[in-house]
Structure 1
Amino acid sequence: MKLRKVTAASATVLALALSATACGSDSGKESGSGDGGDKITIGIKYDQPGLGLKTPDGFTGFDVDVATYVAKELGYAEDDIEFKETKSADRETALARGDVDFIAATYSITDERKQKVDFAGPYLLAHQDLLIRADDNVSKGDDLNGKKLCSVTGSTSAQNVKAKFAPDAQLQQVGTYSECLNGLQSGAVDALTTDDSILAGYASQEQYKGKFKLAGLKLSNENYGIGVKKGDKEMVDKINAALEKMVQDKSWDKAVKDNFGPANYKNEPAPKIGNIVK
């Protein structure tokens, strides 16, 4: 077989063609573009029933439903969504590195966080509250004085109760909220505290239905937003438009009922975009 000699000019053309092909062959997600690239990566929690929970069958929760709706409005099919576990301490870093395109993970909007990331939303107004046994009653924070209050180690929620409402509460800190729930069920503790949305999610689990209820004290305001890489105003605007549509077409109401209904969660109405309740 006779091979044709490649001239210098031909080699140059071939090299340029190969270079152009290589540049155009990146099939990865177009981070921050929101224009229906191949994939979109979304940060969520994996361990919060009712909000963001990884199960053998996939992912469930209100944050998951919100994130999925937003992604579809950005042009991504459900199969093109990649959920990535994003723990609280890692959220700002994950956005800055481009590990995720946005984060929907009980991410309260605060002035401190806004220095590092941008937020769309808020899409839910939650409150710090107490989870108590179904046959108990707590009408105000100081009812916890002398009672056993449970939360996870390092939680600011329990410290907030002791500092502002019940200085004589007996604080017990454990590794997981599930441990608190077991203690609440057995009578070892009298109340569990964190955001009411998180509490409602746990109380809605099949094994806990009818056993617990929210006290409804509204001890703080938590404006959940969708975190976006700092400076990506285009993405923020697109997500805000998607959130507004989710409220208008009642998908937001359905997501609340589907994920929190069994706990009789008295949720706030869907917040207006940009309306941060202090």
Structure 2
Amino acid sequence: MPSMRIRLAAAVAAVALPLTLTACGGGDSGGSAASGDKENITVGIKFDQPGLGIKNSDGTYSGFDVDVATYVAEQLGYAPDKIEWKEAVSAQRENLIDNDQVDYVVATYSITDERKKRVDFAGPYLVTGQSLLVQASNNDITSKDSLGGKILCSVKGSTPAQKIKDEFPTVQLQEYPNYSACVEALKTGKVAAVTTDEVILAGYAAQSPGAFKLVGGTFSTENYGIGLKKGDTELQTKINDALKKMESDGAWTAAFEKNLGPAGIKTPEPPAIG
């Protein structure tokens, strides 16, 4: 009959084994994204924004954000087949980073002081501004000054939605989980306009030629950054270095023209990094 010490040791080993297996779950070999020694890297992107981040019907992903994310991953040491894409809806981006579900997020993610309380940013890699999308036949809304009393749609947890709440109190704001739902509501007349950043709206307009139009120019400045874990200065520095290289070698301009040029947006100068 085994002694109490032997039985206790066996019990501890039995408990420790599943805990060890759980800690190694997900098929990842551990390590950090910055060091390049992980088996795969996980990147958060939008799945429903044409021209920026979209999941195609064949299961592939495309858009300017996707190209930026892929370039950065390669500079970190991860080939495209080592990238695991995860949907990053606006209201969940900080949670995905906080909970280590992604290594970084490239998802039309405006750098704000409020968000910097929870996450860090590399970049900015793109500068845009908030605008308005209406039906092509709509002549009532021509700018932000004609929004009073209108039903507007934006996405919950987004910077544009918060700006409407703060600065346009007479607007009836509908907050949807994603912009594709907003565009569908605009198509059916449930809302009078969709508001978010110009590059996002232009992608939807290009996807449905003749159905929608952009109005009012831009009325904010949005700096898109790459979100990452708070305090991970090593990864932040390496992503910034990758973005600088992307801009200097022409890959940034090529990615913009390929993805957003068809939407009619003139290619801007790449922004200063950091």
TM bracket, shorter-chain basis = 0.7 to 0.9
Q: Distance in 2 between matches of 1:188 and 1:97?
A: 36
Note the residue ranges of structure 1 that are not aligned, 5 or more in a row. 1-22
Match of 2:110 in 1: 108
Match of 2:167 in 1: 164
Instruction: Tell me if structure 1 keeps the 8 A contact 2:122–2:227.
Output: yes
Q: Which is further off, 90-99 or 230-239?
A: 90-99
Amino acid corresponding to residue 105 of structure 1 in structure 2: A
Match of 1:38 in 2: 39
Report the CA distance between 1:183 and its aligned residue: 4.2
Amino acid corresponding to residue 261 of structure 1 in structure 2: G
Note the residue ranges of structure 2 that are not aligned, 5 or more in a row. 1-23
Instruction: Tell me if structure 2 keeps the 8 A contact 1:209–1:262.
Output: no
Match of 1:218 in 2: 218
- Partner of 1:111: helix, strand, or coil? coil
Report the count of equivalent residues.
247
Trace 1:20-99 onto structure 2 (pairs within 5 A). 28-35=29-36, 37-57=38-58, 58-99=60-101
Q: Distance in 1 between matches of 2:103 and 2:159?
A: 28
Q: Does 1:141 align with 2:140?
A: no
- Partner of 1:43: helix, strand, or coil? strand
Provide, for residues 77-135 of structure 1, a one-character-per-residue CA deviation record: whole Å limited to 9, x for no partner: 11111112233333333323332221111221112222222211000112111012345
Q: Which is further off, 134-143 or 258-267?
A: 134-143
RMSD between superposed Cα atoms in Å? 2.9
Q: Distance in 1 between matches of 2:132 and 2:68?
A: 25
Mark the CA change 1:151 to 1:88 in structure 2 (over 3 Å): closer, same or farther. closer
Amino acid corresponding to residue 204 of structure 2 in structure 1: Y
Q: Distance in 2 between matches of 1:87 and 1:187?
A: 24
Report the CA distance between 1:175 and its aligned residue: 5.4
Rg (Cα) greater in structure: 1
Mark the CA change 1:182 to 1:229 in structure 2 (over 3 Å): closer, same or farther. closer
The one of 196, 199, 219 aligned to 1:197: 199
Q: Distance in 2 between matches of 1:156 and 1:146?
A: 21
Match of 1:150 in 2: 153
Mark the CA change 1:158 to 1:115 in structure 2 (over 3 Å): closer, same or farther. closer
Report the CA distance between 1:243 and its aligned residue: 0.5
**TM-score, normalization by structure 2:** 0.77
Q: Distance in 2 between matches of 1:106 and 1:77?
A: 23
- Partner of 1:69: helix, strand, or coil? helix
Match of 2:15 in 1: none
Mark the CA change 1:174 to 1:71 in structure 2 (over 3 Å): closer, same or farther. closer
Mark the CA change 1:84 to 1:34 in structure 2 (over 3 Å): closer, same or farther. farther
Q: Distance in 2 between matches of 1:95 and 1:77?
A: 22
Instruction: Tell me if structure 2 keeps the 8 A contact 1:214–1:265.
Output: no
The one of 106, 128, 131 aligned to 2:130: 128
Q: Which is further off, 65-74 or 215-224?
A: 215-224
Q: Distance in 1 between matches of 2:238 and 2:178?
A: 36
Q: Which is further off, 66-75 or 85-94?
A: 85-94
Report the CA distance between 1:232 and its aligned residue: 1.7
**TM-score, normalization by structure 1:** 0.76
- Partner of 1:122: helix, strand, or coil? strand
Mark the CA change 1:100 to 1:156 in structure 2 (over 3 Å): closer, same or farther. closer
Mark the CA change 1:267 to 1:220 in structure 2 (over 3 Å): closer, same or farther. farther
- Partner of 2:54: helix, strand, or coil? strand
- Percent identity of the aligned residues? 55
